[in-house]
Amino acid sequence: GAMAAAAAAFLGFAIARAISRDGAGPSADSARDFLDSVVEEFVGLGSPGAEGCEEVSRLLRTAEPEGGAEECWNWRASKLCVQGSLRARGPVYNGYPCYPDYFGSYCIDGLAVALWSFY
């Protein structure tokens, strides 16, 4: 759907920047610096391919409230709070069953895990 396409737009943007990166400049220091600069550039360009997708915008801001259903979207945190998000979501989330062993199948959750792992 549209949300998965928006998440893929950001991921594709980040991958393209990684491929074309020359290893010099402000993002050469670390994965963290690189990802921070890619997010800043993507948002600054108007989130191409993800315009109007509030979930991707929220994911990139990484400012979800503690104890909330989307706390796991805070991929810049030192610990990704998957268990807390699952507790807050309960047995149904966005109209779908919510199972701990199926976590990450929702595109925004999966992208959050990928970003946290790289960051």
Mean confidence (pLDDT) of the chain? 95
For residue 49, being part of any structural domain is answered with yes
For residue 24, being part of any structural domain is answered with no
pLDDT, tens only, 52-105: 999 999 999 999 999 999 999 999 999 999 999 999 999 999 999 999 999 999
The CB-based long-range contact list for 90-97 (8 Å cut-off, 24+ gap) reads: 93/69
At residue 21, the pLDDT reads 86
At residue 116, the pLDDT reads 98
For residue 40, being part of any structural domain is answered with yes
At residue 108, the pLDDT reads 98
Q: Identify the H or E element spanning 9.
A: helix 2-20
Q: Going by C-beta distance under 8 Å and a sequence separation of 6 or more, which residues neighbour residue 40?
A: none
Q: How many domains, the chain?
A: 1
At residue 28, the pLDDT reads 61
For residue 46, being part of any structural domain is answered with yes
Tell me the pTM: 0.91
For residue 45, being part of any structural domain is answered with yes
Expressed as residue numbers, the domain containing 81 is 2-19+31-118
For residue 7, being part of any structural domain is answered with yes
